[in-house]
């Protein structure tokens, strides 16, 4: 094992852990403020550390501190099986976390003819891993609901398990049609396929090649992550909080965070399978490496313009209202953040100029392209997470029987039909 391999493997494990875990407070914040802004409210925006509110994201950390220090409560009938009661949220959380580990964050790095995967788990059967691990999460829900010895919890876990049977078939079958299309079960091969074009001008993204499978997969993935409009197993208006009614403090937080990690993983899978993964449309890694100087200069124009708009938005919006005179300190925050952003841009520009013009060695450009692809991946991830959030605050929850009907009567036949069509087209094209 070479040093480069060690570094990339360690780096991608750390990156995956950071992306999955650090995204939780950001996603909770995005959800709450996004919901607020969609509903003409503001959402949490007061909590600060030394006057730094960062738009309210500090609130999530305050919530974590609160949850850590809350009372540990167990239902009184649980005497010996406490560890089982605690295991349930852990299963849900780890299943969601593990599903994230097979996502390629960037193209394979080739150093001295050694192929290094930028993947926390460097496996080449990613989609099978996702199908296997993704459905384990429901075991936690079933265990939690059953052990709670509470009718609402039991109803919640019943709903979770029957819903799982309903959508899992459609999910797996839509994946099969994608596997036939890409002729691979490796996520990285799928992204490679998607960096080409179809009909000469459209990017060969999964959503363009297989729109029906994309719709089925995204619908099913909403159900798998227990997000609205399919959060019937939680169903707070009908069955209190479903399977985690009896859970408190960090045990509840594990379920809660598991939902967001699952949402993040689902976004990552959808991006990798249907929206070109870490690749920009119309380009692939080779193209980026061949025109590296041009690409660096393009970035040198794009980054400052984005930062310019961010700063302008912040200066306009990060200010105290006239009606509120005592809530001070935002001018200072704006000033510091503006300076930090400008310094960051200058540093990035210098680095880009250096690697684009001065240091034209092969390895620097490869690493730069890798970092760029990670950036593209994170941006796409955030956009899709925002889509998840927007859908949650747009659609009302399905009724329990409607979910079953949708899964069995519509998604399942449609995905079967899609497999037939895909197989016929693939055979017709190749023969």
Partner 1 sequence: MKNKIKTIPRYGKDKRERLYLPAVLDGLKVTLKRLYENITDINSVDVLEYPEEQPKDITSRYRGLHRLTKREDESIRCVACFMCATACPSNCIFIEATQRDDGIDEKMPKSFKIDLLECIFCGYCVEACPCDAIRMDTGIFSITGKKREDFVLDKERLLSHKGAFGREYSVAGK
Binding footprint of partner 1 on the chain (CB under 8 A): 34, 37-42, 215, 313, 316-317, 319, 321, 323-327, 390-391, 393-395
Phi, psi dihedral angles at 9 (to 5 degrees): -65, -50
Task: Report yes or no: 319 and 331 within 8 Å, Cβ to Cβ.
Answer: yes
Phi, psi dihedral angles at 109 (to 5 degrees): -90, 125
Which CB sits closer to partner 1, 326 or 431?
326
Q: Which residue do the tokens 């009938």 mark?
A: 77
Smallest separation, CB 325 to partner 1 (Å): 7
Distance CA(118)–CA(5), nearest Å, equals 10
Smallest separation, CB 110 to partner 1 (Å): 41
Which CB sits closer to partner 1, 323 or 361?
323
Smallest separation, CB 12 to partner 1 (Å): 33
Distance CA(54)–CA(318), nearest Å, equals 9
Which CB sits closer to partner 1, 46 or 286?
46
Distance CA(182)–CA(201), nearest Å, equals 19
> What are the tokens at 61?
């950390």
Smallest separation, CB 371 to partner 1 (Å): 28
Smallest separation, CB 231 to partner 1 (Å): 16
- Answer whether the bond into residue 15 is a cis peptide, omega within 30°: no
Q: What is each CA distance from 275 to 207, 266, 354, 393, in whole angstroms?
A: 7, 13, 32, 23
Give just the sign of the alpha carbon dihedral 209, 212, 215, 219: negative
Smallest separation, CB 37 to partner 1 (Å): 4
CB atoms near residue 401 (< 10 Å): 9
Which CB sits closer to partner 1, 327 or 359?
327
Give just the sign of the alpha carbon dihedral 387, 392, 268, 11: positive
Q: Which residue do the tokens 């540990």 mark?
A: 72
Which CB sits closer to partner 1, 391 or 423?
391
Smallest separation, CB 406 to partner 1 (Å): 9
Which CB sits closer to partner 1, 290 or 327?
327
Which CB sits closer to partner 1, 4 or 38?
38
Q: Which residue do the tokens 């690493």 mark?
A: 367
Q: Which residue do the tokens 């691979």 mark?
A: 184
């Amino acid at each position: 094992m070479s040093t480069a391999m060690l570094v990339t493997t360690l780096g991608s494990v750390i990156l995956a852990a950071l992306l999955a875990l650090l995204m939780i407070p950001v996603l909770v914040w995005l959800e709450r403020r996004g919901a607020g802004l969609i509903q003409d409210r503001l959402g949490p925006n007061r909590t600060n550390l030394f006057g730094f509110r960062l738009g309210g994201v500090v609130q999530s950390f305050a919530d974590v501190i609160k949850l850590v220090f809350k009372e540990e409560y167990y239902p009184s009938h649980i005497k010996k099986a406490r560890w089982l009661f605690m295991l349930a949220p852990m299963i849900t959380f780890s299943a969601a976390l593990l599903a994230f580990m097979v996502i390629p964050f960037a193209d394979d790095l080739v150093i001295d003819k050694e192929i290094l995967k930028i993947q926390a788990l460097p496996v080449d059967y990613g989609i099978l891993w996702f199908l296997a691990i993704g459905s384990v999460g429901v075991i936690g829900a079933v265990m939690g609901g059953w052990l709670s010895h509470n009718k609402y919890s039991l109803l919640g876990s019943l709903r979770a398990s029957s819903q799982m049977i309903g959508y899992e078939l459609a999910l797996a079958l839509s994946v099969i049609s994608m596997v036939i299309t890409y002729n691979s079960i490796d996520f990285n091969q799928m992204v490679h396929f998607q960096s080409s074009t179809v009909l000469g001008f459209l990017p060969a993204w999964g959503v363009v090649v297989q729109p029906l499978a994309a719709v089925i997969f995204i619908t099913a993935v909403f159900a798998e992550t227990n997000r609205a409009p399919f959060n019937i197993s939680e169903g707070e208006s009908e069955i209190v909080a479903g399977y985690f009614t009896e859970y408190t403090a960090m045990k509840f937080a594990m379920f809660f965070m598991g939902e967001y990690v699952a949402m993040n993983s689902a976004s990552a899978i959808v991006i990798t399978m249907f929206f070109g993964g870490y690749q920009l449309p119309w380009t692939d890694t080779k193209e980026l490496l061949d025109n590296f100087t041009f690409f660096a200069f393009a970035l040198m124009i794009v980054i400052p313009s984005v930062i310019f708009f961010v700063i302008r938005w912040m200066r306009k919006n990060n200010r105290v209202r006239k009606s509120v005179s005592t809530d001070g300190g935002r001018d200072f925050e704006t000033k510091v953040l503006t300076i930090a952003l400008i310094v960051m841009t200058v540093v990035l520009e210098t680095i880009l100029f250096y690697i684009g013009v001065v240091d034209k060695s092969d390895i620097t450009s490869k690493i730069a392209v890798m970092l760029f692809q990670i950036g593209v991946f994170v941006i796409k991830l955030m956009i899709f997470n925002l889509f998840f959030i927007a859908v949650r605050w747009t659609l009302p929850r399905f009724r329990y029987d409607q979910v079953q009907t949708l899964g069995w009567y519509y998604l399942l036949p449609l995905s079967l039909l899609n497999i037939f069509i895909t197989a016929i087209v693939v055979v017709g094209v190749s023969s």
